[in-house]
Amino acid sequence: MQQILIPTDFSKNAWNALKYALQLFENTTCTFHILHVNPLPPYSGAGSSIRAASDNFQDAILKESRESLEQLIKKIKKLPFKTDHIFIPLAVHDYFIEVIKKEAEQKKIDLIVMGTKGASGLKKVTLGSNTGDVITKIKCPLIAVPEDSQYSRIKEIAFPTDYYIGYDAKVLNTLIQMAMMNDSLIRILHISKKGEKLSVEQLKNKDFLDDYLVDVEHTFHSLTGTKLETAVQCFTESRDIDMIAMVAKHLNFFQRILFRPAVEEISYHTEVPFLVLHE
């Protein structure tokens, strides 16, 4: 049974991410852990009476959060597609990243699904944002769902790579599982500035990918003489890509595509979900 963690702040983008996950796993038995985190206030050296008042306030906030989660689950049950899953609500007072890390470990979470805000999608994600923090600090596969993204069956998954890093089985197994679950094609994309030939190391890593993905339909593609972000945009549009998968291990390559596309014509990060893979 898949264990899926979905943090929510009850916003539009969080609801969209939740719906996306439900449709993505409609035909898979899952337990959805729906988490709302009330952040801890900064510590102050206040006296016991003030701390007691603060504790009472926190209890009230947690009660309100639990009620909101119950209403959210009722809303889920009314959706016009299969929602025959187990839903576990959880409201806590804690530091956001610490809660995600603890829940991911204790519940043996297979996947985290989070929304990204607004029309700018991931363009303005910073390391201080919740989604950005989870992507970079929690070693668990994650799907980042743009607020305006609408679910459709994942027919094609783009997998940008420069072939400079080797991928271990755990990373590729998550990608294979996603492809098999949706009967998807994996499009492996290499971008080079001047059309250079692949080095021995790169060819070795490419051959490994080809061998390991033998049970999944996949193809290799190469684009030359263009910026990385623009190449991903062109490829996404030309192939009608439904999801972009990337490995967080290659931080520079990863951040250029996910965090830094500041050019207006770069829209993949506002429309296409990202599957972030971790070792």
Q: How many residues does the chain have?
A: 279
Amino acid at 178: M
Give one word for 95, left, alpha or beta, with left for phi > 0 and alpha for psi -120 to 50: beta
Distance of alpha carbon 17 from alpha carbon 31, whole angstroms: 16
- Is residue 66 domain-shared with residue 194, that is, in the same domain? no
- Is residue 28 domain-shared with residue 62, that is, in the same domain? yes
- Is residue 231 domain-shared with residue 124, that is, in the same domain? no
Strand partners, 223: 191
pLDDT at 32: 97
- The verdict on residue 151 lying in a domain is no
pLDDT at 121: 42
pLDDT at 272: 86
- The verdict on residue 142 lying in a domain is yes
Count of domains observed in the chain: 2
Residue spans of the chain under pLDDT 70: 1, 41-55, 57, 117-129, 225-226, 250-270
Report angle CA 77, 69, 62 to the nearest 5 degrees.
165
pLDDT at 206: 95
pLDDT at 171: 86
pLDDT at 246: 86
pLDDT at 264: 47
- The verdict on residue 274 lying in a domain is no
CATH number at residue 72: 3.40.50.620
pLDDT at 128: 36
Domain boundary residue, one of 121, 146, 171: 146
DSSP 113: E
Domain boundary residue, one of 102, 119, 146: 146
pLDDT at 75: 95
pLDDT at 46: 52
- Is residue 168 domain-shared with residue 254, that is, in the same domain? yes
Domain boundary residue, one of 146, 171, 203: 146
Please name the helix (run of DSSP H) or strand (run of DSSP E) that holds residue 254, with its range, or none. helix 251-258
pLDDT at 217: 97
Residue span of the structural domain in which 248 resides: 156-267
**Terminal CA-CA length for the chain:** 21
- Is residue 111 domain-shared with residue 83, that is, in the same domain? yes
Tokens of 40: 């801890």
What's this model's pTM, rounded to 2 decimal places?
Answer: 0.86
In the chain, at which residue ranges do the beta strands (DSSP E only) sit?
A: 2-7, 30-39, 86-94, 111-116, 142-146, 156-161, 185-192, 218-224, 243-247, 274-277
- Is residue 79 domain-shared with residue 208, that is, in the same domain? no
